[in-house]
């Protein structure tokens, strides 16, 4: 009896504690909102995650808002973020090329060129470790670099911020920042946050393949045959246990979450040495990472030529030929490369089918979407 | 007029600041009260081994650290080793799913400590952390790979992104919806001849429902897990034993590759060897 009364009293105390904690939690959330650069008055942007896609991890200190996304779009296309006012982010990420650059190396305002091809901006909200060598830990961090890089937009961030702060015509940036972040005081952090918000809304999910996955259309025989080659293991089963004479594409460009990339880093047998560009090893300092570069998505791949980190292949046929012959041996070449057995050895017909399948990943509604175009 | 208006604005700003200040002070007080309640609660609870509201024993924390070895010597990915046939090789990547992890209690009942974990030996100390009821345990068991109910016909996109079976969590470890996940990735390079550079690819990818294996290991002495205490147990995986065992051995030069999304004999043999490559320390 005594024990029962004691338990009853303890339960009441527990309830009081729970209530106290709930009140405290509500406060914490407010405090977080104050501490971060979010504006409670801004309108939350509801991101529509397409079927079969995984959830998108959005940083807690940079939630998407309608005002933030709008500001990000203005900034993405803002040429005054370059030193001579001639380039915006969009200058190297052209919509008609799947938001990538058709030149192997992008040319900056001084005429200087980088060492790598501009990556396509497609479903980048699901990516991780940005740049070909993964040196950008977050999307926000990645955006910091091109603006101030001397071979790109060459604008020191303090100058870029001053330029935006002084801008009232034709775009009143202080007011746009006020609406998005609750402050008219512009800084580089808020600028990159806004652009990151915009980039996270750039979702491609309406290719013919997507429509087929949703049961809205059918693939042609040629396209479906290409899909099967895409999903089959490479190699002759006589020499490679498990080999299925396939394209072996799915290992790195897998369809999990319909991303067509696992966003990991691999040496796909382009070179035998890595003196000019060590790839991931340049970031980690690990010899095992030499020649390893990020696996790009295959979405809109027919629009994003040239291919590879240095844009060395101008056509998809050249890319298939590279994998078909097996690549160049090196101490860090990925085990998926079949160089020891003479490559994938796909027949010309199989290559045609594979190309037909890759074409089904083209999403013309994405590249033409009005909300991603230059608003200036 | 302008001057008065300005004064008015200043007054409004002053009022606003005052209100804000009061609000902040109230909030601070509230936080202090909460902190005191929490502190009293913790101090009161801190003296006992049972939860005060239901008298249930407070669990301890069990951490299972995975340790990579080569012939009973600690090793790391990237180290060059020699196998049972004298071939020089280097492991570059070793990842495997383990599942249905359980500890056996004194009464013979199995206590679950985790559903699924991806052991990635490129991480310095891959480990599993779980709350476990205080008590003595004499064995641990787990599956190498995934049970069929979660291996196939499951969409990785249906898991939250921090789950080992999610799209980012399983990056590089997922085949297709029909064939499921790669259970074990054992990758590296070996020398074709002694003294030659390590250029030949070694690539064992094992999976499919038929490749699922179960491991059970008994502790030499009962493992004592105490309330609120952290107990660490080392689980050793000897990568050399994935190539040679009591009943079988694999020649990496003759059989350097298996990608058995559809199941292969070599993949099954490797999984059998892996089954016996575990020990406790």
Residues in chain A: 376
Taking CA–CA distances from A237, the nearest residue in chain B reads B258
Quickly tell me which residue has 């380039």 as its tokens.
A87
Helix (H, G, I), strand (E, B) or coil at A293: strand
Among the partner residues B53, B161, B255, nearest to A10 by beta-carbon distance: B53
Give the global pTM: 0.83
CB distance B267 to B211 below 8 Å: yes
Binding-face residues of A in 311-370 toward B, CB within 8 A: 329-333, 335-337, 340
281 residues of chain B, pLDDT tens digit each? 333 333 333 333 334 344 444 444 455 556 666 566 666 555 555 556 666 666 677 899 999 999 999 999 999 999 999 999 999 999 999 999 999 999 999 999 999 999 999 999 988 778 889 999 999 999 999 999 999 999 987 889 999 999 999 999 999 899 877 778 999 999 999 998 888 989 888 999 998 888 999 999 999 999 999 998 999 999 999 999 999 999 899 999 999 988 765 556 888 999 999 999 999 98
- Chain B partners within 8 Å of A17 (Cβ): 37, 41
Per-residue confidence band for A33, with pLDDT thresholds at 50, 70 and 90? very low
Contact at CB, A257 and B205, closer than 8 angstroms? no
B257 touches A at CB < 8 Å: yes
Q: What is the DSSP letter of A297?
A: P
- Chain B partners within 8 Å of A59 (Cβ): none
* Residue-level pLDDT at B175: 83
ipTM greater than cut 0.85 = no
Among the partner residues B167, B188, B262, nearest to A54 by beta-carbon distance: B167
**Under 8 Å CB-to-CB from B158, ≥6 apart: which residues?**
none
B265 touches A at CB < 8 Å: yes
* Residue-level pLDDT at A183: 95
**Under 8 Å CB-to-CB from B195, ≥6 apart: which residues?**
none
CB distance A299 to A360 below 8 Å: no
Is the model more confident about A195 or about B30?
A195
pLDDT over 50 at A269, yes or no: yes
SS3 readout for chain B: CHHHHHHHHHHHHHHHHHHHHHHHHHHHHHHHHHHHHHHHHHHHHHCCCECCCCCCECCEEEEEEEEEEECCEECCCCCEEECCCCCEEEEEEEEEEEEEEEEEECCCCEEEEEEEEEEECCCCCCEEEEEECCEEEEEEEEEECCCHHHHCCCCHHHCCCCCCCCCCCCCCCEEECCCEEEEEEEEEEECCCCCCCCCEEEEEEEECHHHCEEEEEEEEEEEEECCCCEEEEEEEEEHHHHCECCCCECCCCCCCEEECCCCCHHHHHHHHHHHCCEEEC
Is the model more confident about B147 or about A338?
B147
- Chain B partners within 8 Å of A55 (Cβ): 160-161
Q: Which of B27, B171, B177 to mutate to test the interface with A (most CBs of A within 10 A)?
A: B171
* CA–CA separation, B263 and B145 (whole Å): 13
Q: Is B26 exposed, middle or buried (0-12, 13-18, 19+ CB in 10 A)?
A: exposed
Contact at CB, B259 and A233, closer than 8 angstroms? yes
Contact at CB, B259 and A242, closer than 8 angstroms? yes
- Chain B partners within 8 Å of A333 (Cβ): 199, 201
CA distance B169 to chain A (A): 10
* CA–CA separation, B34 and B24 (whole Å): 15
- Chain B partners within 8 Å of A340 (Cβ): 200-201, 256
* CA–CA separation, A104 and A117 (whole Å): 5
* CA–CA separation, B175 and B136 (whole Å): 40
* Residue-level pLDDT at B179: 78
A126 touches B at CB < 8 Å: yes
Of the candidates B153, B200, B159, the residue with the CA atom closest to the CA atom of residue B181: B153
pLDDT, tens digit, 9 for 90 and up, residues A73-87:
999 999 999 999 999
pLDDT over 90 at A37, yes or no: no
* CA–CA separation, A347 and A179 (whole Å): 58
Among the partner residues A233, A259, A264, nearest to B261 by beta-carbon distance: A233
pLDDT, tens digit, 9 for 90 and up, residues A132-187:
999 999 999 999 999 999 999 999 999 999 999 999 889 999 999 999 999 999 99
* Residue-level pLDDT at A234: 84
Residues in chain B: 281
Taking CA–CA distances from B190, the nearest residue in chain A reads A331
Q: What is the DSSP letter of A294?
A: E
Mean pLDDT (chain A, rounded): 89
* CA–CA separation, B171 and B178 (whole Å): 17
A10 touches B at CB < 8 Å: yes
A229 touches B at CB < 8 Å: no
* Residue-level pLDDT at B44: 56
Is the model more confident about A336 or about A55?
A55
Contact at CB, A264 and B172, closer than 8 angstroms? yes
B171 touches A at CB < 8 Å: yes
pLDDT, tens digit, 9 for 90 and up, residues A276-312:
899 999 999 999 999 999 999 999 999 999 999 999 9
* CA–CA separation, B106 and B13 (whole Å): 69
* Residue-level pLDDT at A337: 84
Is the model more confident about A238 or about A84?
A84
* Residue-level pLDDT at A38: 72
* Residue-level pLDDT at B258: 86
Of the candidates B9, B95, B50, the residue with the CA atom closest to the CA atom of residue B228: B50
pLDDT, tens digit, 9 for 90 and up, residues A208-231:
999 999 999 999 999 999 999 999
pLDDT over 70 at A128, yes or no: yes
* CA–CA separation, B173 and B186 (whole Å): 12
CB distance B34 to A21 below 8 Å: yes
* Residue-level pLDDT at B25: 47
pLDDT over 50 at A267, yes or no: yes
Of the candidates A216, A210, A260, A250, the residue with the CA atom closest to the CA atom of residue A50: A210
- Chain B partners within 8 Å of A286 (Cβ): 78
* Residue-level pLDDT at B263: 57
Q: Is A333 exposed, middle or buried (0-12, 13-18, 19+ CB in 10 A)?
A: buried
């Amino acid at each position: 009896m005594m024990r029962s009364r004691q338990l009853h009293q303890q339960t009441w105390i527990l309830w009081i504690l729970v209530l106290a904690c709930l009140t405290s939690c509500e406060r914490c959330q407010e405090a977080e909102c104050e501490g971060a650069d979010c504006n409670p008055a801004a309108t939350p942007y509801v991101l529509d995650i397409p079927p079969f896609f995984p959830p998108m991890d959005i940083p807690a200190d940079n939630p998407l808002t309608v005002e933030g996304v709008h500001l990000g779009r203005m900034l993405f296309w803002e040429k005054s973020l370059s030193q001579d006012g001639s380039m915006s982010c969009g200058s190297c990420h052209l919509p008609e090329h799947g938001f990538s650059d058709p030149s192997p190396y992008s040319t900056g305002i001084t005429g200087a060129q980088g060492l790598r091809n501009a990556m396509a901006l497609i479903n980048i909200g699901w990516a991780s470790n940005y740049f070909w060598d993964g040196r950008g830990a977050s999307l926000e961090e990645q955006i910091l670099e091109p603006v101030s890089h001397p071979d790109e937009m060459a604008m020191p961030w303090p100058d870029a911020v001053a330029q935006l702060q002084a801008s009232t015509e034709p775009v009143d940036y202080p007011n746009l920042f006020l609406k998005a972040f609750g402050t008219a005081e512009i800084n580089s952090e808020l600028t990159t946050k806004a652009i990151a918000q915009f980039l996270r809304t750039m979702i491609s999910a309406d290719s013919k393949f997507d429509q087929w996955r949703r049961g809205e259309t059918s693939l042609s025989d040629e396209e479906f045959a290409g899909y099967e080659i895409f999903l089959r293991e490479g190699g002759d089963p006589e020499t490679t246990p498990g080999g299925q004479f396939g394209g072996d594409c799915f290992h790195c460009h897998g369809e999990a979450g319909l991303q067509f990339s696992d966003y990991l880093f691999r040496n796909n047998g382009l070179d035998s040495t890595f003196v000019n560009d060590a790839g991931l090893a340049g970031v980690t300092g690990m010899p095992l990472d030499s020649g390893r570069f990020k696996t790009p998505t295959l979405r809109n791949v027919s629009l994003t030529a040239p291919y590879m980190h240095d844009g060395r292949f101008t056509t998809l046929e050249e890319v298939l030929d590279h994998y078909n012959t097996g690549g160049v041996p090196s101490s860090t070449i990925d085990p998926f490369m079949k160089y020891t057995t003479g490559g994938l050895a796909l027949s010309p017909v199989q290559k045609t089918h594979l190309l037909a399948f890759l074409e089904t990943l083209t999403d013309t509604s994405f590249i033409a979407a009005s909300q991603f175009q230059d608003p200036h | 007029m302008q001057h008065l208006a300005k004064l008015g604005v200043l007054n409004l700003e002053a009022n606003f600041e005052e209100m804000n200040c009061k609000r902040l002070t109230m909030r601070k007080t509230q936080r202090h009260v909460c902190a005191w309640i929490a502190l009293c609660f913790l101090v009161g609870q801190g003296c006992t081994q049972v939860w005060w509201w239901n008298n249930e024993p407070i669990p301890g924390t069990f951490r299972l650290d995975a340790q990579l070895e080569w012939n009973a010597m600690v090793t790391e990915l990237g180290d060059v080793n020699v196998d049972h046939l004298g071939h020089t090789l280097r492991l570059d990547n070793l990842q495997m799913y383990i599942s249905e992890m359980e500890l056996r209690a004194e009464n013979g009942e199995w206590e679950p400590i985790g559903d699924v974990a991806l052991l990635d030996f490129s991480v310095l100390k891959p480990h599993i952390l779980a709350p476990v009821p205080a008590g003595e345990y004499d064995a641990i068991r787990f599956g190498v790979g995934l049970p069929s109910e979660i291996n196939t016909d499951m969409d990785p996109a249906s898991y939250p992104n921090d789950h080992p079976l999610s799209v980012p969590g399983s990056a590089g470890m997922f085949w297709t919806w029909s064939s499921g996940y790669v259970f074990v990735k054992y990758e590296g390079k070996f020398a074709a001849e002694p003294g030659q550079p390590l250029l030949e690819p070694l690539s064992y990818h094992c999976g499919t429902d038929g490749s699922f294996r179960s491991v059970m290991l008994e502790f030499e002495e009962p493992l004592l897990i105490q309330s609120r205490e952290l107990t660490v147990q080392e689980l050793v995986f000897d990568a050399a034993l994935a190539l040679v065992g009591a009943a079988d051995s694999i020649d990496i030069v003759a059989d350097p590759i298996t990608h058995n999304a559809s199941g292969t004999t070599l993949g099954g043999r490797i999984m059998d060897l892996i089954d016996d490559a575990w020990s406790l320390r």
